[in-house]
Structures are given as structure tokens and as C-alpha cells.
Amino acid sequence: MLRSVPAPAQEQRPKKTFPEFVAAVYEDPRVGHEARELLLAIGYAVDLAKREDGVSPLKVARRKLGVEHGRMARYDRLVASDAPRYKPPHAAGNWGPSGAPGCQAPRLRPYVFRARQTPSPLDDEAVVLLRPRPETVVHVGPDHVDPVDYRNEHGICGANSHHRVLEKDPRTGWVTAHWFCKRHKDHADRVDDQVRAQNEQAPEPIPNIGGLLPCYFKADWEKVYKHYRPHWTAPKYGLCADDWPTVDEAAPRTYGRLRAINGLDLEDA
């Protein structure tokens, strides 16, 4: 069961009407289309709950959002997606050799493209062409200059990577991945030695996803998140995205929170 929890006195904020709440949701740059759908559904349910006595607004929202894929309530997935957590960047994932980013080791000589020879079981002189080869057509002007290859431009190896080194930011705990190929394993070992002490002292990562429901509604969201995401653990920075420190360690941002509409708080779910 979900019960509303009183906020500390210093966190009390002015209550918003439903039109003000809708405007705040649409103007919040953190809210994506799915989070917006969830927030508006709960806000609508809170406004509607006064006409449905004894029915929790969250149950009303779950019913209004319906079922997706023929088996799962859309509300369940959207709430689980809003659980506050840190999501590493895509480049820091466990890639295979063919999908990993290019090697970041310094390049020793400029990259030069070499066309691959077409394999043939016969000698070139014995190959009989079925039709004459077309002449090369150039679609560029006389002043065209071929672009510089990115490997030469950035001075990196660029080969398929096999070794990954994760570096944690000492302020935020966020990770940055460094990739190296088999030929540059010595560079991977050197970078790993350089960041080891920094990684050990890095703080718990600041969440960068979720935490929007507590910004607009007052309820026991930790219990709700654990129900829809069983293996989730609450971050030490709090559940509300308003309270998380920014990357540059500025003061936490403040947004208006919809405590209730016409005096109606979130009650049992």
C-alpha cells in the first residue's frame, strides 16, 4: 500500500493547481515523452480522485494507462523506468571486438587507405571479363580536397578495441571508457594504473536518470520503486531529482512540486 508521507517543514512548497502542474511538466526540460505521459496520468488521477471516493490516484492512473504488448501494464514499466539511478554512457558498455569503439592509443604513422585485392583462383592474365569495366566517374570539382581521415585528424590508432579501462570522475562518480586494441595493451595497462587510485576514491555516482515522480508528487516513492524494480536500491543523494547536485557542484535546482490539487494528497495505492 502507498501512503503519503509528510515532507519536512523546510521543504514545503506552494501547492499547484492542475493547469499549473501541466504547464510545469511541459516546461521541465528533464521530462521525456514517456515520463510526461506518466506524470500527466497521475496528475489527472489526483484531480479525478475526488470524484472516485476510496480509490487511490495511483490505481486510477494505472487503469488509465492501460496495458501494452498484450501482457504488461504500461504504468508498471513507466514507474520502474523512473527509479533514480546512474546509467553509464553507451560507450562504456561491454562491447564485443567488432562493436567496441576504436582504439584511443596514439598513432605512430598516418593512416593510408589500401584497397583490398579481389581474390581469384586464377592468374590476372587468365581472368576473362564478362563485360568491360566502366570508366571511373568523378563527381567533384577540380578544387575538391579529400577530407582528412579521423584517425589522422585525432592522432589515434582507431583499430578494433579489445581492452577497456573505466575512469571515474572524482566529483560525480560518472564513468568514462577508454578503449585500446590488442597491439596497445601496454597503453591500457598504463591508463589503468593512472586511474586506479582515483577510481577507489570516487564517490557513489550521482543519478542521471529518473527521480521525476518525487519532484511533483508527495508519496512513499521508495516503496513504490522497489515494488516495480525489485533489485533497485535508493541512491544516497535522495529520490528527488531536484535534490541531486549538478555536474559543476552548483546549488541543487528547485522546481515546483504538486503536493495536491484542491487539498487532495496521494493516498493508498
> Is residue 265 scored above 90 in pLDDT?
no
Q: How confident is the model at residue 56 (pLDDT cuts 50, 70, 90)?
A: confident
Q: For the segment 172-204, what is each residue's pLDDT rounded down to a tens digit? A: 899 999 999 888 999 999 999 999 999 999 999
Cα(60)–Cα(41) distance, rounded to whole angstroms? 8
**Better-scored residue on pLDDT, 93 or 13:** 93
Q: How far is CA 138 from the centre of its chain?
A: 43
- Enumerate the H helices of the chain as residue ranges: 18-27, 33-49, 57-65, 74-81, 150-154, 185-201, 213-216, 221-228
| Average pLDDT, integer, range 216-234 | 92
Q: Which one-letter DSSP state was computed for residue 219?
A: S
Share of the chain above pLDDT 90, in %: 36
Q: Tell me the three cell numbers of residue 17.
A: 493547481
Q: For the segment 131-171, what is each residue's pLDDT rounded down to a tens digit? A: 777 777 777 777 877 777 777 777 888 888 888 999 999 88
Q: Are 223 and 240 in contact (CB under 8 A)?
A: no
Q: For the segment 19-48, what is each residue's pLDDT rounded down to a tens digit? A: 888 999 999 999 999 999 999 999 988 887
Q: How far is CA 215 from the centre of its chain?
A: 19
Phi and psi at residue 160, to the nearest 5°: -60, 130
Phi and psi at residue 156, to the nearest 5°: -120, 165
Burial class of residue 259, CB neighbours in 10 A (0-12, 13-18, 19+): buried
Q: Let me know the angle formed at the C-alpha of 141 by 137 and 143, rounded to the nearest 5 degrees.
A: 135
Tell me what pLDDT residue 17 has. Answer: 82
> Is residue 7 scored above 80 in pLDDT?
no
Cα(5)–Cα(164) distance, rounded to whole angstroms? 44
Point out which residues pair with 167 in neighbouring strands.
176
Give the helix/strand (H/E) hosting 165. Answer: strand 163-168
Q: For the segment 80-108, what is each residue's pLDDT rounded down to a tens digit? A: 999 999 998 887 776 655 567 888 888 87
